Amino acid sequence: MKYYIPYLFLGILVSCGVPDSNNTMNRKLPETPIAAKKDTSLTTHDHTRIDPYYWMRLTDEQKASENPDQQTNEVMSYLKAENEYTEAALGHTESFQNKLYDEIIGRIKQDDESVPYFKNGYWYYTRYEEGKEYPIYCRKPESLENPEQIMLDVNQMAEGKEYYNVSGLEISPDNNILAYAEDTLSRRIYTIKFKNLETGEWLNDQLLNASAGGAWAKDNSTFFYTTKDQTTLLEDKIWRHKLGNDQKSDAMVYEEQDNTYYVGVYNSKSNDYIIIYNQSTLTSDYHILKADNPDGDFKQFTPRVTPHEYGIEHFEDKFYILTNWDATNFRLMETSTSATERTNWQEVIPHREQTLLDDIEVFKNFLVVQERSNALIQLRIINQQTGQEHYMDFEEPAYVVYSSTNVEFDTEVLRYGYSSLTTPNSTYDYNMSTKEQVLMKQQEVVGGHRPEDYQTERLFAEARDGTKVPISLVHKKGITVDPSTPLLLYGYGSYGYSMDPWFNPSRLSLLDRGFVYAIAHIRGGQEMGRQWYEDGKLLNKKNTFYDFIDCAKYLIAEQYTSAEHLYALGGSAGGLLMGAVINMAPELFHGVVAAVPWVDVVTTMLDESIPLTTGEFDEWGNPTNKEYYDYMLSYSPYDQVKEQSYPNLLVTTGLYDSQVQYWEPAKWVAKLRDMKTDQNLLLLDTDMDTGHGGSSGRFKRHKQTALIYAFLLDLEGAAIQ
């Protein structure tokens, strides 16, 4: 998808003990890696930039070659030297990292199981076994009392592989054939495979260079899937595959000509339609085909108009449409299945200035509307037969709630999920008629967790233009919150992704050591409605950085912490945020973690051969336009590195990252080393086996969590033991 943050970093938080002198700064470090300078001139709009580290960029072919050339050897040597430097700089924390790792994975229930859901005659669930990294996908026919059928044991499939991921499980309508996608390189280039669930045999069919997921036709032998452009990795073609045929004979049913769009294919909830979606930052487009007519032609839902974002959901003889047509915060409309053009749409729920219409869930007698107002999510239940409606109540000051797995139409029960900074992830069944609810499962924190031992607050910082920016905050009760308190501030602020206050059990290792954790709900997300996003993109992008800086200043002014004890964390586009704010206001932070950071903004956005670049023009701007070039250049972290002091900095990346190429953080670190005027830590950690999402498996990924925590705790002066 886009330059989004991997889930590992969405909820990272920190804490530590009584601060004293900086442990690492008192240690003698090895000689710092120095990257060679080989100036490359990059000229655009008669403006020339000199990039001394452009040479660090390798092709996939160079990385995969068994006979590496001189450039490859030089790049790999530099990355290795940086890794060795990081290991040496944090070597004294090794036992502490191991302790943190054991502590974090010790909270994970090893023999865990998801709440089963019923679909088409089977109960489906996922379980984990003690000591194993990967899920086991299972089902039982008709009753949970019946014997279990293991569809996939990913632990067996992952044996001998450094990285392994299974995604996009799709089961044929007759319940017999499972399609799934596997990635063994961490570049999100999947191979779709098929398994006969009746016999347990794998079919010979393999669909290469694919995206995860797809759609079955009702004939149980036709599968629609998406492939990628092998250079840009953009999904661009939809294909029809007949089981038993070679992929070379598959028919292409759709090709997206505009390289600013992402495309894919899926089944409607009703399973009556196969739907192709086309999505850019500003525009949506859909093509539909009855699932019982797999050899037919797809029909465009309504002519493509730019800009216009919308989503569709089929129900009986109509489609519901969630649209921003004349509605900044979206409105709900409906239309007949026989007349889907926009001129036929009829309004169901009107637009509201202060409330974002976020999502819908359709049932036979009920409509569930997910709304976002004042940075909080609400679930609105509408009885479609009587017209009566009500909102569900949630008592905590900051929380996240969402519609969970709801695959059945004819039910009065809504399954929803709930979490907060203090409450573990919980799954409820809610009767929409009686308002009764049952807790089906709450994430178990092994060793115990008492939400009442922690305190959540909801604050509003005033940005420099007078805008009130929400902050969600949590800390352990009983700690002293004052200028000596360590605080980790997390931010993202891009693509309209709202950073909701989820529970994360790994944070307990840090909260219990005295840290405060805060989320800055800065512009660029949608926490405060669609305009919140519009005010943090394109030529308004600097609002995102200013908001984060002003939230930091607010927390310092209100004596939640001080600059000597304030830390920041962001990943991917949130890594861009980290890079921008430490150029603009480095004095506010003692330490910063930039995870898989997108920092070489202008160069990347000028290069359409780089995966995903063209799909980002409506988010950041196209720098072939001078106005956007100048604006992007003014905040691009790599281009704006200057001779000044910077905070202690830990940067992480993955050699096979398809979202943010490894050379961006590598170049950034090299340039910072050359220009910064301080003696603070600057560390680069490159995972040589993975990509954007980090390690596969539920335990191994926390090795990096422990590294990050140890880095922050050590800076704060916590005892390393």
Parallel/antiparallel/unpaired status of strands 566-571 and 284-290: unpaired
Query: What residue type is assigned to position 210 of the chain?
Result: A
Active-site residue, 692 included: yes
Task: Kindly tell me if the per-residue pLDDT of 237 is higher than 60.
Answer: yes
No. of helices (H) and no. of strands (E), the chain: 14, 38
DSSP labels for 491-522? ----TT--------GGGHHHHTTT-EEEEE--
Which is the catalytic residue, given 359, 692, 696, 702? 692
Average pLDDT, the chain: 92
Compute the Cα dihedral for 360, 361, 367, 370 and give only its sign: negative
Residue 678 has pLDDT above 60, yes or no: yes
Rounded to 5°, angle at Cα 653 from 651 and 657: 155
pLDDT of residue 697: 66
Model confidence pLDDT, tens digit, residues 306-360: 999 999 999 999 999 999 999 999 999 999 999 999 999 999 999 999 899 999 9
Residue type, 441: K
Give the residues across from 588 on adjacent strands: none
Among 3.20.20.70, 3.40.50.360, 1.20.140.10, 3.40.50.1820, what is the CATH number of 7-106+455-716?
3.40.50.1820
Q: pTM score > 0.75 for this model?
A: yes
Q: Which residue has the higher pLDDT, 269 or 696?
A: 269
Distance, in Å, from the CA atom of 477 to the CA atom of 85, rounded to the nearest integer, reads 38
CA dihedral (125, 217, 364, 410) positive or negative: negative
Burial (CB < 10 A; 0-12, 13-18, 19+), residue 648, is: buried
CA 345 to CA 269: how far, in whole Å?
A: 20
User: Bridge-partner residues for 301, per DSSP?
Assistant: none
* Whether residue 695 has pLDDT greater than 80: no
Q: Report how far residue 444's alpha carbon sits from residue 503's, in angstroms, rounded to the nearest whole number.
A: 12
Contact 656, 690 (CB under 8 A): yes
Distance CA 209, CA 222 (A): 18
* Share of residues in the chain with pLDDT > 90 (%): 84
Rounded to the nearest 10°, the torsion over CA 431, 432, 434, 436 is 40
Q: How is residue 106 written in tokens?
A: 């010790």
Q: What is the mean pLDDT of residues 579-595?
A: 98
Of the residues 494, 572, 636, 658, only one is catalytic, namely 572
pLDDT of residue 19: 31
Structure tokens at 637: 């972290």
Question: What gap in Å lies between CA 314 and CA 665, rounded to an integer?
Answer: 44
pLDDT per residue over 614-636, tens digit each? 889 999 999 999 999 999 999 99
User: Angle of helix 573-584 relative to helix 542-557, nearest 10 degrees?
Assistant: 60
358 catalytic? Reply is no
Is 51 catalytic? The answer is no
Helix (H) or strand (E) holding 439: strand 437-442
pLDDT tens-digit readout, 113-171 = 999 999 999 999 999 999 899 999 999 999 999 999 999 999 999 999 888 999 999 99
* 500-558 pLDDT tens trace: 999 999 999 999 999 999 999 999 999 999 999 999 999 999 999 999 999 999 999 99
Selecting among 657, 685, 687, 714, the annotated active-site residue is 657
Where residue 563 falls among pLDDT bands split at 50, 70, 90?
very high
d(CA 52, CA 38): 5
The more confidently predicted of residues 21 and 246 is: 246
Q: Can you read off the two tokens belonging to residue 533?
A: 């996003």
CA–CA gap between residue 517 and residue 500 (Å, rounded): 13
Asked whether residue 1 carries a pLDDT value surpassing 60, the answer given is no
Cis-peptide into 307, omega within 30 deg: yes
CA-nearest of 640, 486, 570 to 5 is 570
Q: Is 643 helix (H, G, I), strand (E, B) or coil?
A: coil
